[in-house]
A = this chain, B = another copy of it.
Amino acid sequence: MLLRNCWYVAAWSSEVTSDAGGGLLARTIVNLPVVLWRDAAGSVIAFEDRCCHRGAPLSRGRKEGDRLRCMYHGLLFDRDGRCIEIPSQDRVPPQARVRRFPVVERHNWIWLWPGNPALADESLIPDTHWLDDPGWRSLQGYTHYRTNYLLICDNLLDLAHLPYVHPTTLGGDEAYSRFPPKVERLERGVRITRWATGIKPAGFAQAIMNWPGNVDRWNIYDFLVPGIFLMDSGMQPAGTGAQAGHRLDAAEFRGCQALTPETEDSTHYFFAHPHNFALDRPEVTEAIHANVVKAFEEDSAMIHAQDAMLKLDPGFRMVPIAADAALTQYRRLVAKLAAAEAAAAAAAPAAAPAAAG
């Protein structure tokens, strides 16, 4: 079961244009077909992508200022999803409306809440201001998986695969990977922390920062429901207080990644890796992005292969290892939330649709 009462990243802001003649983005999110568009003021609107009349996709429709017209039979909807015109008839019945989803546009990401709108608390959206903060640089990434999103969550919550899947991209530093990670439970996620003090800087960073000696190095990952991965990672000269919270002369990354299930069996993957150094050197930003893209291709090949093997035998029992601690905790949290949603839906099955729109 896919969680519904969550904020999901639905798109990069740049994917939903203000183009008057087009500007309709069709995207399926947790099995729901959605059309994203901007009203005359530029605010993002998200409708179910299915006209209430005969089910034609509104993403084949036409924007008319603050309104959207279905181009099968001409029904016209206002920005709340209410039908306000049906050609060749005077009265518009009140049930003629399409579902509108809560959306929030923030720091270049468009967040969408596919569940009960009454629960759509904006304070649940995590901070990703590094995506548009002028003190940071990154490129916008997107990739697509033909697997359930939890296999990708597993991968992101697991440091053990780094030296095997990513020997030349992310996992090459054996000295660093010897420092054991700490796993903590968060209210809506898991935190993995690894500190390494007084080690040689990574070659890539050293080439830019030219530190005189060893560094302290950290990776602090917050992995939050539904599949938001926020990374605080970096290094700075050893003994200058990084672990106590003093960031001085540090080369830092603030990776922002979001997994959004398209269906039970496919996933949208939005990502960027803002860094706070070499801001005037676009080739550095491009090299960082390219390295991440290459590593993601390595993961994608393995995860799709794993998925194919798992599908051949739905009864396959996994043998857990010590490195699975974080992913096991995270899967338990997701299962608990899914069970709570299922129980709530069973108690009041019509509540969510009635409140929607």
A→B interface (CB under 8 Å): 28, 31, 33, 49-50, 52-57, 60, 69-75, 86-89, 93, 95-96, 154, 158, 160-161, 163-165, 180, 301-302, 305-306, 308-310, 312-313, 316, 318-323
20 other A-B residue contacts (CB within 8 Å) besides A53-B319, A73-B160, A73-B323: A33-B309, A50-B312, A54-B154, A54-B306, A55-B309, A56-B305, A57-B306, A60-B301, A69-B164, A71-B165, A72-B165, A73-B164, A73-B321, A74-B161, A75-B321, A86-B322, A87-B160, A88-B180, A93-B319, A96-B319
Residues of the B chain whose Cβ atoms lie less than 8 Å from the Cβ of A306: 54-57, 72
Residues of the B chain whose Cβ atoms lie less than 8 Å from the Cβ of A158: 73
Residues of the B chain whose Cβ atoms lie less than 8 Å from the Cβ of A165: 71-72
Residues of the B chain whose Cβ atoms lie less than 8 Å from the Cβ of A87: 160, 163, 323
Which B residue sits closest to A73, measured CB to CB? Answer: B160
Which B residue sits closest to A32, measured CB to CB? Answer: B312
**For the complex formed by this chain, how many copies does it contain in all?**
3
Q: Is the interface of A mostly helix, strand, loop or mixed?
A: loop
Residues of the B chain whose Cβ atoms lie less than 8 Å from the Cβ of A161: 72-74
Cα distance A96–B73 when bound, in Å? 53
Cα distance A302–B52 when bound, in Å? 15
Residues of the B chain whose Cβ atoms lie less than 8 Å from the Cβ of A73: 158, 160-161, 164, 321, 323
Partner of A52, one of B57, B74, B301, B319: B319
